[in-house]
Structure 1
Amino acid sequence: MSSTHSNSSYSLLSDPFLQFPTTSSVKVVWFTEFSGIDHKILYGQNLDKVVKANTTQLSCTREDQDSKVTEDYSQTTKRNIWRHEGEVTGLNQGEKIPYKVISFVKNQQIESQTFSLSPSPKEKKPLKILLTSDHQLKPMVAANLQKVVETIGKIDAVFFAGDLVNIPDRASEWFDDKRGGAFFPCLQGLANYTIEDTIYRGGQLIQFAPLFPTIGNHEVRGRWSQNTGLNRQFVDAIPRNVAKNIYAEKTDIINTNRDPNIESDWIKDNSFNTDTYEEIFSFPQTESNNSHYYAVTFGDIRLVVLQVTNIWRSPNLSNNVRGRYQESEKDLEQPEKWGYGQHIFQTIEKGSEQYQWLEKELKSQAFKQAKYKIVMFHHPVHTLGGNIVPPYTDPIQNTTYDSDGNVTEISYHYPKEDDYIIRDIMPLLETAKVNLVFYGHSHLWNRFLSKDGINFLESSNVGNSYGAHLGNNKRPIPPDYSQSNYVEIGNPNGLKAIIPNLAPLTDENNNPLPYIASNYITVFSILDTEKGIVSSYYFDTRQPNSSVIKFDEFTI
């Protein structure tokens, strides 16, 4: 994929990419399929300075029979991948420095092209930030990112609101899916995805600009298995407390010596985890920050990233579907097959550890002094999309029995008044005078503005869309739940979607639409900090020679 020594049979699995710069440093990361030796970064105007990289092996990356790779896998198989990270220090703000990476294996030198890096920018430096989410190897992603580069040129950072791939442990989705649209190739200009006889390469973005990721539901793997297919493992997440209860019943079998490490590993492996996500990316190394939520200053921006996501369950109301609102009828007597509704992976309700961290962050000088205060997470606050229903709260399980005591139904209810985003988080963000809340999850573009002046943007129609719920396109909701304010049409949380102010798309009656939800038209959004403007653009992949259209902009 990357440039290599001309006589080499080896190559880098990814180009290098940048992570979490400080005022004097930046981290450089790349991957190989060999452990190798002497992995290092060369940098400086003459590439005469050297930083040695630390190497770790990814622990959960695998392939299976559903992987789209050149090799056929008849069963779930570990794929050996090594991550290399070095930190370039002693940098001066405002200065771009050439760099490249080198890995040695069997006396062969494998090297990347030369790119440029820089530390975190100074205040008042004009920046252009790509706001994106929900790539998931969708069909238009490579085209989307190619058009970013063609339209904007070099960007300064990528703010990514979650759902980077589909199955977090499937290595090829990150690196080399043979359909040509894997995660890193799209963001590094190495994609090879064809739409309407046009090949799209993505864009060289993260070799030059740091990527700030967010945990979405697709970064979370469910119950671990050596043999089960990866798709099944992804959807088989269950709540932590359920796994803890199972562990308590089986402790004598699982952990006879009462080893606390065995206990914690078993519970994690039998509920859910984000191990691969955490092993692929770097995160700020401070006492209050971690991979699940963090805050950084980048130029004039204070970016606060939260873990606000739950498992996705089907909205299908059929009694033979394990969904948002019910367990499958055939599984009622088999608790090991229950899905437990759309359970939340890490709580953010008032009083929780994440909530307390956010309270502290919003009172910090770094946050208060920032010109632009941006909060990013995955689950929508306001949207016309489908995934905002039911409310973002812990599901309440209801069990119905017949006269003989047999279970006839297990259903789930989500009290709207207990929506943690609306009830607990939004009052904090309103008091803190946040400028922009950026999120994804519903695969469309729409935006909103609150009376408190907070802008809400969902710019996740990158590769495909599942539609907007207006007109006759109703969300599927159990009949008896409609009295609980589960909204079938529009935005359940009150704000009206804003019609794009430059070039909105229109319906069949030529009425302007307050959204873009298309499987042909792809959207990207750019924050320009010099002007404090977020501009959104669309490109119609059915017309490969057409221009990119700026259709909306607003000031934050």
Structure 2
Amino acid sequence: MTSPPQLLSDPFLQLPTETSVRVVWFTEFAGSGHIVAYGKDLAQTAFATTTKLSRTREDQQSRVGNQTEDGQVYQNPVQRHIWRHEAEITALTPDTRVSYYVTSVREDGNGVSSNVFTLAPKPSPGKPMKILLTSDHQIKPMVAANLQKVVETVGRVDAVWFAGDLVNIGDRASEWFDDHRGGAFFPCLQGRAYYEMNNNGVKTIYTGGEVIQHAPMFTCIGNHEIMGRTNRGSINDEFDATIPRAVALKLYGQEFLKHNSFNTDTYEEIFTLPDSKEGGKTYYAVSFGDVRLVVLYATNMWRSPNLDAEARGRYREREKDFNTPENWGYGQHIYEPIAKGSTQYNWLVQELNNPEFQQAKYKVVMLHHPPHTLGGNIVPAYTDPVQVIERDADGNIKAVRYEYPKDADYIIRDVIPLVETAGVQLVFYGHSHLWNRFVSPSGMHFLETSNVGNSYGAAWGNNKREVPVGYQEDYAELGDPYGLGSVVPTITPMLDEDGKPMPYIASNDITVFSIFDTGTGTVNSYRFDTRNPDSPVIKFDEFQLK
């Protein structure tokens, strides 16, 4: 008996304006008659435009359908045919919600419909909102529990700000839609997940939260949204194979540049976002109620800090690759320039002088890479790697190393002074998979709330970062490398083994989410212990934007 035809995702909301909003959903059939029914008695209809995703595939490492182990079904990357449907709902009344559902008709004439949800245009200035701040889902274990507790704790949110790393591998379709481990991106954010957690024999199923069917989502690019050189044998290998554009240009020429460097095609095909003339969907600014949100494209290639001979890492190339530069990784190279004088930096200067920015009650910057953190991913500095090639007396390469001058950190040196002078109250980011926050001497807040699905620890106490010895730069083993002290949570901090309050949460059992309440101007953070499904959600920190 075959299963009835289904939508691949529930609908979700994108790009609200004062009188409109986009409704987007996905199917695995081209079909026809893709419509949104909405309004009073669901009597109004809007037709969708359909496009096909160009790069979504499955491969040896996918966990989808009948494949539960590597290579059971897929021995190589195979295209997965997915269609995207988008309808614009217009003539909406500000601050007024209406019901809607979507329908897609298959080629055999059978229609498939979603449940009924609600939509609204942009909120008016002055309307209180609750905005979910999240990042780094990456199909990690605690995400479904996290989003389920968001809805149970605060109800329906008005928007989602997602600070990058939405999935683990950007072109792998199942990570977005139906990874059978239960933690795919859309199911978790739509209350359709089925993630089983087993703690001491107690099994709990978490379904995520019905969030983005009702609330628009604004995202930024993290390193996991970026795919590298194509035709590498597996999607994982493609992801790992990004190299700088300038290097690819020399090796492969202009005609084959993108296929031999990196791209964000799948990310950009999935989402309809505000855009800028200079950055398109990759960096942009948007007004939403009382907030002006400025989204930056600030991320680099993550590479291992390992210094072994076989490591193509952040600090060195593999010995076996010394004489084959086409196999080099080129360290933690930056994807989009943001240093002073770059196109993105100049755009940011213009945005900070924009009346919409200057007149906004709340001014927020969102990016993926952390300016300040106790996490491991802030080291080395956010700057272009300086390549050092060492040769023996015969001219043979004996080492290819990379240095990252700390005084050339583009975010700390160029971006932060600019946004601080402009009156930004909050800088929000992810990347290090923990919760911690900081406050500058002028009162600008920094928040990293990425302990959503898992954590890799904090550089605190005896837990030192893995940093190289004998390099020119002094790489920080502990704390924030740029000198800000992390803030101890204001309400109920967690305690270390000596009973002292900890200024962070880095846990693979306790998941964290944060809510920006524009009515009170407060950012509230909550934690939930997934080991005990009956444990309460605890509000542990609150701070106010002035």
The residue type equivalent to 2:543 in the other structure is F
Instruction: Confirm or deny: 8 A CA contact 1:391 1:414 kept in the other structure.
Output: yes
Q: Does 1:400 align with 2:405?
A: no
**Is the 8 Å Cα contact of residues 378 and 441 (structure 1) preserved in structure 2?**
yes
Shift of 1:486: 1.5
Matches within 5 A, 1:169-248: 169-196=171-198, 197-225=203-231, 228-248=233-253
Equivalent of 2:505, from 516, 541, 547? 516
**Structure 1 residue ranges, 4+ long, deviating more than 3 angstroms after superposition:** 285-289
Other-structure match for 1:419: 409
Measured against aligned partners, the alpha-carbon deviations of 1:230-256 in whole angstroms (never above 9, x if no partner) come to 0000010000000100134xxxxxxxx
Is the Cα contact below 8 Å between 2:275 and 2:285 reproduced in 1?
no
Aligned to 2:79: 78
Contact 2:376 2:459 in 1 (8 A): yes
Residue number among 103, 111, 114 corresponding to 1:112 in the alignment: 114
Give the distance between the partners of 2:275 and 2:386, measured in 1 at CA: 37
C-alpha distance in structure 1 between counterparts of 2:524 and 2:530, whole Å: 20
What CA distance in whole angstroms lies between the structure 1 residues aligned with 2:8 and 2:110?
Answer: 15
Residues 317 and 477 in structure 1, CA contact (< 8 A), matched pair in contact too: no
Residue pairs, 1:5-20, within 5 angstroms: 9-20=4-15
1:416-447 Cα deviation digits (max 9, x unpaired): 11110011101111111101000000000000
Give the secondary-structure state (helix, strand or coil) at the position aligned to 1:484. coil
Q: Structure 2 matches for 1:445-484, cutoff 5 A?
A: 445-481=435-471, 484=473
Corresponding position of 1:315:
305
2:399 and 2:3 mapped to 1: Cα distance?
61
Query: How much does 1:316 deviate?
Result: 1.2
- Contact 1:135/1:165, CA 8 A, preserved across alignment: yes
1:35-74 equivalent positions in 2, closer than 5 A? 35-71=30-66, 72-74=73-75
Q: Distance in 2 between matches of 1:145 and 1:366?
A: 32
The C-alpha deviation readout for 1:128-176, integer Å capped at 9, x for no partner, is 0000000000000000000000000000000000000000000000000
Superposed displacement of residue 329, structure 1: 1.3
Letter of the structure 1 residue corresponding to residue 508 of structure 2? N
Cα shift at 1:191: 0.3
| 2:131 equivalent in structure 1 | 129
> Match of 1:515, as an amino acid?
Y
What one-letter code is carried by the residue in structure 2 that aligns with 1:453? Answer: G
Cα distance in structure 1, aligned partners of 2:275 and 2:508: 40
- Aligned-pair distance for 1:317? 1.9
| SS of corresponding position for 1:428 | helix
In structure 2, distance between residues paired with 1:321 and 1:276 = 29
* TM-score normalised over the length of structure 2: 0.96
* CA drift at 1:501: 0.9
- Unaligned stretches of 5+ residues in structure 2: 67-72
What's 1:251 paired with? none
1:158 aligns with 2:160: yes
8 Å Cα contact 1:448-1:497 kept in structure 2 = yes
Corresponding residue for 1:496? Answer: 485
The answer to whether the Cα contact below 8 Å between 1:180 and 1:193 also exists between their aligned partners in 2 is yes
Once residues 166 and 458 of structure 2 are traced to their aligned partners in structure 1, the CA distance between those partners, rounded to angstroms, is 22
Q: Distance in 2 between matches of 1:213 and 1:500?
A: 26
| TM-aligned CA deviation for residue 288 of structure 1 | 5.3
What is the DSSP-based 3-state SS (H/G/I as helix, E as strand, rest coil) of the residue aligned with 1:28? strand
**Contact 2:403/2:473 (8 A) holds in 1:** no
- Identify the match of residue 536 of structure 2 among 529, 547, 550: 547
Q: Summarize the alignment of residues 317-466 of structure 1 with structure 2, pairs less than 5 Å apart.
A: 317-466=307-456
Question: Does the 8 A contact of 1:401 with 1:407 survive in 2?
Answer: yes
Kept in 1, the 8 Å contact 2:515–2:524? The answer is: yes
| Equivalence for 1:300 | 290
Give the TM-score normalised by the residue count of structure 1: 0.95
Partner of 2:144: helix, strand, or coil? helix
Deviation at 1:480, TM superposition (A): 2.0
Quote the offset at 1:8 in angstroms.
Answer: 7.8
Alpha carbons of structure 1 residues 287 and 400: separation in structure 2 relative to 1, 3 Å: closer
Aligned residue identity for 2:170: P
Unaligned runs of 5+ residues in structure 1 are 1-6, 249-262
Shift of 1:473: 1.2
Deviations 1:247-287 (A, max 9, x none): 34xxxxxxxxxxxxxx45x1001000000000000022564
Coordinate RMSD, CA, aligned = 1.1
2-structure distance, mates of 1:462, 1:509: 25
Bigger mean CA deviation after superposition, 484-493 or 403-412: 484-493
Number of aligned positions between the proteins? 533
Note if contact 2:147-2:189 (Cα within 8 Å) is conserved in structure 1: yes
Where does residue 3 of structure 1 map in the other structure?
A: none
Q: Deviation per CA, 1:321-379, whole angstroms, max 9, x where unpaired? A: 11110001121112121100000000100111101110000000000010000000000
Per-residue CA deviations over 1:520-545 (Å, capped at 9, x if unaligned) read: 00000000001000000000011110
Decide whether the 8 Å contact of 1:289 with 1:295 is kept in 2: no
- What are the within-5 Å matches in structure 2 for residues 25-44 of structure 1? 25-44=20-39
Provide the rounded CA distance (Å) in 2 between the counterparts of 1:430 and 1:9: 54
- Give the whole-Å Cα distance in 1 for the aligned partners of 2:3 and 2:526: 41
1-side partners of 2:317 and 2:92: how far apart?
56
Distance 2:101 2:109 in 1: 19
Residues in 1 aligned to 2:216 and 2:95: alpha-carbon distance in whole angstroms: 15
